[in-house]
Structure 1
Amino acid sequence: MARRLPPRTADYADVEWHSCDIGAPDAAARLAPIVTGADAVVHLAWQIQPSHHRRRLYRTNVLGSAHVAEATVRAGVPALVFASSVGVYAPGPKDAYVRENYPRTGVLASSYSRHKVLVEGLLDVVEAHHPALRVVRLRPGLIFQREAGTEIGRYFAGPMFPAGLLRAGRIPVLPAHRRLRMQAVHADDVAEAYARVLLGDVRGAFNIAAAPVLDPVVAGRAFRGVGIPVPGAVLRGAAAFSWRLRLQPIDSGWVDLGLQSPLMSCDRAAAELGWRPRHDAVSALRELVAGMAARSHTASAPLSSDPELPGRFGGLVHGRLPGQGDPY
């Protein structure tokens, strides 16, 4: 199910597609007959842009998730799997690894994090009222793949970002901060984790990430760059200022999320799912950067290469500023 159906290309032709806006008031009633008889509902829908329209994001992310859960219960589907995130966790260590029982209060400065916290709280209530329903939450780090290059550039960098300069595979200057340490995972490995959840009988949360931890030193080696120390306040201020001016599409909450989110232990995924990533985090990052340079995409609406969408230079020419309008 998707709000906008993909074209009938080879990538999408073998799947039965249904169109639904999960944030619409009647979404639960529309979804329930579609998912009736399914073995599981895998809820991946999430909206990151337009970042200047917070009510719209809340409508899709929080209200939409409530509608998906309601439809799952109405239809009697035995399992609900939710795409959560490292962003659900409270600020934590960058030199140790937290397990799935770490506090889930999020990073308050980030609307993305707050929404993930609200949805996990909603799932707690659903579990309490429907103990027969198998509820699973996957909490990955950053998810990278080549085909997402255009999408991620549009959602997180904006039209002013010189993606063409990445073709040499080099980023000469990188911002450095002692807490700018994050985990990543390849999209194919995340898909493998979902498959193992669906084919098994597990419940609860699973952290999903690959080694090594990405920090300025690791990134500098991978892209032959030099880290320049930058205080956190400067990183936040630069993001906030450029976001308010509509120069780029992400607010300072994403900086806070990067600086405050803890590192995750994936021991439970290894022990109970038998999951281990096939791609390391550096190769996944290299693949993404190559995809951004090549403007890699697919025919689906989120991964579209349409040059006039918000977040692309053609969109800017037509007055579609970063963080505004619908980039999907």
Structure 2
Amino acid sequence: MRVAVVGASGNVGTAVLRALAASEQVDGVVAIARRIPDVTAEPYRSATWHSIDIATAESARTLEEAFAGVDAVIHLAWLIQPNRQRELLRRANVDGTARVATAAAAAGVRTLVVASSVGSYSPARDCLPHDEGWPTEGIASSDYSVDKAAQERFLDKFEADHPGIAVSRMRTALVFQADAGAEIQRLFLGRLLPSRLLRRFTLPGIPLPQGIRLQVVHAEDAAQAYLLAALTGPRGAFNIAADQVLAAEDLAAALRARRPWPVRPAIARAAMSLAYRAHVIPAGPGWLDMGMQVPVMDCARAKATLRWNPRRTARQALDDLVGGMRAHRGTASPALRPEDTSMPTTRPDPNRQPHS
């Protein structure tokens, strides 16, 4: 079968390309990104590339042309930065999803696999695992979450209007791998936690919000879930996360801190907001709001329906990422470029941030 990957040069896209290349059932890959990587390097050399910016209205026609003869489309493209340009984010993320889905329908694609997120879920007040039936109204103070919820509403309508297309929604946890180390440093931490500290020092402690809990998944495991969905065409939503839920102690240990220093969430949010306004970090406080409020996901449906099982624990995925941050790991993709920008001498241009 032939598979198209939109957002193929990013964190998840790179892992998906590796999974597709290793599958005997896939005999052709069409890769789409705003900025094309070095196509002589692995894993990018195994695909036919198209440069398409899904944030533009003109992309609808070129997407349909690129999807000709494709059996399944995996849609991963999502703009995280520039965080301060709200309308641009909406055009790329919500309108871009609509363009991808509409083009897939026009091209006769039978399976559409879309990257949703744990961020699409409404707040939960407990630590119990919740399945895919939990409401997807998002976290109002998080732009990312609001857009993921809007994407879910679009997919509701798209499924109703196109019953012949099998739509899978992959509600993934945070996706980590070593090759995303430099990118995640740029997108979220900036100068707040210079990677040189991760390489050279054991910290006596690190401040973390009280009650923080994180679900993550290794990029290789997430890619297997996308591959299985593309091959089998199941309908509906799937929670995708490693089995373990990370606590403050896990985060502190991974960051070479002897222990976490608990901070009241309101104080942590105020500090993050101040750092964001001062351009010390590129990620706004809505990310903390989302991280503190989303439910713990129950992944039983993915295991039963897709026959998916994560091979890496949550702690292994976290350690892999932190190791990649220490080493400024990346790939031959503009989105995953490996150079260290954790301590820039000038303020970076936000328009250089990747969305695929």
Q: How does the TM-score come out when normalised to structure 2?
A: 0.86
> Paired residue for 1:65?
97
RMSD: 1.6
Structure 1 partner of 2:213? 181
Partner in structure 2 of residue 251 of structure 1: 284
Q: Deviations over 1:204-226 (max 9, x none)?
A: 00001113211112334554521
Shift of 1:192: 0.6
Structure 1 gap segments, 5+ residues each? none
Q: Does the 8 A contact of 1:94 with 1:179 survive in 2?
A: no
Contact preservation (8 Å) 1:175, 1:216: no
Secondary structure of 1:18's aligned partner: strand
Question: Equivalent of 1:78, from 89, 110, 117?
Answer: 110
The residue aligned with 2:274 is: 241
Deviation at 1:73, TM superposition (A): 1.2
Sort the Cα spacing of 1:102 and 1:171 in 2 relative to 1 into closer, same or farther, 3 A.
farther
Aligned partner of 2:57 among 22, 25, 45: 25
Could you tell me which residue of structure 1 aligns to residue 177 of structure 2? 145
Q: Does 1:212 align with 2:270?
A: no
What is the CA–CA distance in structure 2 between the aligned matches of 1:129 and 1:186, rounded to whole Å? 34
SS in 1 for 2:216: strand
The answer for the alignment partner of 2:353 in structure 1 is 327
- In the alignment, the residues of structure 2 paired with residue 117 and residue 104 of structure 1 have an alpha-carbon distance, to the nearest angstrom, of 6
Which residue of structure 1 aligns with residue 34 of structure 2? Answer: 3
Q: Distance in 2 between matches of 1:171 and 1:283?
A: 20
Q: Distance in 2 between matches of 1:126 and 1:196?
A: 22
2-structure distance, mates of 1:253, 1:217: 23
**Partner residue in 1 for 2:131:** 99
Residue aligning to 2:317: 284
Give me the whole-angstrom Cα distance separating, in 2, the residues matched to 1:281 and 1:94.
20
Structure 2 SS opposite 1:127:
helix
Counterpart residue number, 2:7: none
Unpaired runs of at least 5, structure 2: 1-31
* Length, aligned pairs only: 321
**1:46 and 2:78 are equivalent in the alignment:** yes
Partner of residue 333 from structure 2, selected from 288, 293, 300: 300
Task: Name 1:34's counterpart in structure 2.
Answer: 66
TM-superposition CA deviations, 1:47-92 (whole Å, max 9, x none): 1111111111111111111111110111111011101100000011
CA contact (8 A) 1:169 1:289 kept: no
Given that 1:99 and 1:207 are in contact with CA atoms closer than 8 Å, whether structure 2 keeps it comes out as yes
Q: Deviations over 1:246-286 (max 9, x none)?
A: 11101110110111011000000111111111000001101
Does residue 343 of structure 2 align to residue 313 of structure 1? Answer: yes
| TM-score of the two chains, using structure 1 as the length reference | 0.93
| Alpha-carbon displacement from aligned partner over 1:155-175 (angstroms, at most 9, x marks no partner) | 001135321121258554233
Matched, 1:275 2:308: yes
Name the amino acid aligned to 1:287. D
| Compared CA separation, residues 62 and 287, structure 1 to 2 (3 A) | same
Asked whether the equivalents of residues 167 and 233 of structure 2 are also in contact (C-alpha less than 8 Å), the reply is no
**Superimposed CA distance per residue, residues 93-113 of structure 1 (whole angstroms, 9 cap, x where no aligned partner):** 442001001000111100000
What secondary structure sits across from 2:137 in the alignment? coil
Identity in percent: 42
